[in-house]
Amino acid sequence: MDECLFCRIVAGHVPAKVAYEDDAAVAIHDVFPQAPFHVLVIPRTHVARLADLEDEALGGRLLQVARRVAAQGGHADRYRLVVNNGAGAGQSVGHLHLHVLAGRSFAWPPG
């Protein structure tokens, strides 16, 4: 997926500030943060959106990575996870990613 920005980041072809990585996922700091702490959790394999994720183990792993990076960032007890599924829901990069947001108050409902 040479044209996919997140695939290029995962491959090391595009620089990013890495917060965490393992064999299944990479977590990077967002370049346009929407909160004082804003990290993206990205699967190493290309999955376009959540609706396309068939690997339940990978889905669980992404959630665990999100929990881990929130804790490592000092936000173990207070963070928000956001997944935008498709362009109509606000997904701007066609590679599944979880937003881990913390460091400020969040309103409900969002958006």
What pTM does this model have?
A: 0.94
Cβ-contact 25, 61 below 8 angstroms: yes
pLDDT digits (tens, 9 = 90+) for 20-67: 999 999 999 999 999 999 999 999 999 999 999 999 999 999 999 999
Whether 1 shows a pLDDT value over 70: the answer reads no
pLDDT digits (tens, 9 = 90+) for 56-67: 999 999 999 999
pLDDT digits (tens, 9 = 90+) for 69-108: 999 999 999 999 999 999 999 999 999 999 999 999 999 9
Provide the pLDDT for residue 110: 83
Among all residues, which ones are annotated catalytic?
97
Q: What angle do CA 12, 38, 107 make, to 5 degrees?
A: 155
Give one word for 83, left, alpha or beta, with left for phi > 0 and alpha for psi -120 to 50.
Answer: beta
**5-102 — its CATH code?**
3.30.428.10
Q: Domain residues of the chain, as ranges?
A: 5-102
Task: Give the integer Cα–Cα distance in Å for 73 and 37.
Answer: 8
In the numeric block, the tokens 């044209």 are attached to 3
Q: Where are the alpha helices (DSSP H) in the chain?
A: 5-10, 56-72
